[in-house]
Structure 1
Amino acid sequence: MTKTAASENNLKEINKKDRILDAAEELFAQHGYDGVTIRQIAKAAEVDVALANYHFGKKLDLFHAVFDRRAQLLSDTRRQLLLSEQDAPQTLEQIIEAFLLPLKMAQQTGDAGWRNYLALLAYVMTSPVWNKIMMDKVFDKRVHEFIEALKNVLPNANEEKLHWCYHYMSGALALTLAQTGRIDRLSMGKCESTDFDTAYKLMVPFLAEGFRKVCG
């Protein structure tokens, strides 16, 4: 086999792996871990089940691969945004904006897969099982950096209240990322759960006032 042919074969395999990850990401986001089979994922990716097993092993291994694929990029970009503002005094709004970066990324990257991933992230965040297993690997390690930044702009707050407010902020983010469509129904179409741009703009001042009221 020539080097060109070998390269083409490698690219095809990479493309198939990406298709498997993309299909799994969408299906896990829609149905959760227990509501999806490897066979369904393979069918959506248009590959053989054996190939999905070959590349990723068991369904649990594939679930971790899907979650980990974007986790580090998201966490690192969040941290860069948080730290980039530290040359000058940070505002509470800037800290919140750094935390809510996923909403903005999904709106601006042009990668439709981000919406599926963020819905999956919401599923993991709100699961008492998967939260313990998966959030600690990347995301939970950054929490103390946000708490320290919040302490700097809210010096009179005690740490217990800061953690509760951080918890409320995480909950608001998770519910929005989940894109359940409930707000669409309740507002009778005036709001759309997929409208991350509006959600981002409104959530920043909403959360800032909450932090100031409780921790100011």
Structure 2
Amino acid sequence: MIRPPVTTPDSEVAPEAPGKAAKDTNTRRGRPSKARSAGAGVARESILDAAEDLFSKHGFYGVTIREVAREAGVDTALVHYYFGAKRALFDAVFLRRAEIWNSERVDAINRYAQEAGPGGMTFEGLFEAFLRPPFAWSLKGGPGWKHYSALVAQTNANPAFGGEIMTRYFDPAARRLIELIKEIVPDAPEVDLYWAYHNLSGALTLTLGETGRLDRLSGGLCRSGDLESACDYMVRFAAAGFRAVCGTRPDSPPA
């Protein structure tokens, strides 16, 4: 059974034996060794992985700290030691991958805007840059990213706290996208921009959730797990939608 690490204040550390300091000059009293710190990091990641898996399948209210600990193979006290209450654990799970998604998306659209230059951006090019990173991570990042995509889809539709969480972790990237969209359609009313983005956000998270609904609806013609095709379709769908909603001239240049 793994117990949470206990740190001892420097004032309570026993005096070192004569000559020990000369032999062990790199050791600081009251701090864990590198090996112990590495083990703690592994345990923390295991807890996050287990919580991510369980939350993505059963939701926030359907998971207990005890279940997370059992799934991670650690003592319940260790989960509380690292994360405190369940909500703090949920937030830590959400933040871990949100930082990667958002930094890559913002970097991609900024890079595209710079390469396209003033007046050169298109909806297709902008949405390709913005949408590709989350699809790529879900496609190639392993089971953890699949769980995270399902968790985001679930949270985005949660009326209790989904709006607050999505605002906290995803709004900065969304606002940067909208700033660049305004350069393509400078005369578009802001209300149109936000409604159009709202529809894109819902479509994105639902698609990344890979619920299998599309497979059954299409009789197997389409597969919700075909994320390469899903991203291609979404770029085209979003570009056409924003043109229709925001009143873009019909002769906008293609990507």
Q: Please give the TM-score of this superposition, normalised by the length of structure 2.
A: 0.77
**Alpha-carbon distance in structure 2 between the residues aligned to 1:166 and 1:61:** 29
**Shift, 1:26, TM fit:** 1.0
Structure 2 Cα separation of the partners of residues 155 and 7 of structure 1: 54
Q: CA deviation at 1:156?
A: 4.1
Distance 2:177 2:127 in 1: 9
| CA pair 206-133 structure 1, distance change in 2 beyond 3 A | closer
Distance 1:209 1:132, change over 3 A: closer
Deviations 1:147-202 (A, max 9, x none): 22112112342222221111111111021122222112222333322222221111
In structure 2, the residue matched to 1:91 is 122
The answer to whether 1:29 aligns with 2:56 is yes
1:179, 1:194 within 8 Å by CA — same for their partners in 2? yes
Contact 2:149 2:209 in 1 (8 A): yes
**Cα separation, 2, equivalents of 1:44 and 1:27:** 9
Structure 1 alignment gaps of length 5 or more: none
SS at match of 1:86: helix
Using the size of structure 1 for normalisation, the TM-score is 0.90
2:91 partner amino acid: H
The number of residues matched between the two structures is 214
Structure number with the higher helix fraction is: 1
RMSD: 2.1
Alignment of 1:28-177 (within 5 A): 28-87=55-114, 88=116, 89-100=120-131, 101-108=133-140, 110-177=141-208
Q: Following the alignment from structure 2 to structure 1, what is the Cα–Cα distance between the partners of residues 72 and 204?
A: 29
In the aligned structure 2, how far is the partner of 1:167 from the partner of 1:133? 15
Shift of 1:143: 2.6
Identity of aligned residues (%): 43
Q: Is the 8 A contact 2:138 2:208 kept in 1?
A: no
Comparing 4-13 and 200-209, the one that deviates more: 4-13
- Secondary structure in 1 matching 2:33: helix
Contact preservation (8 Å) 1:126, 1:174: no
2:113 is paired with a residue whose SS is: coil
1:214 and 2:245 aligned: yes
Q: Which range moved further: 49-58 or 151-160?
A: 151-160
Task: Report the secondary structure of 1:174's partner residue.
Answer: helix
Q: Moved runs in structure 1, 4+ residues, more than 6 A?
A: 2-5
Tell me if the contact between 1:161 and 1:214 (Cα under 8 Å) persists in the aligned partners: yes
SS at match of 2:183: helix
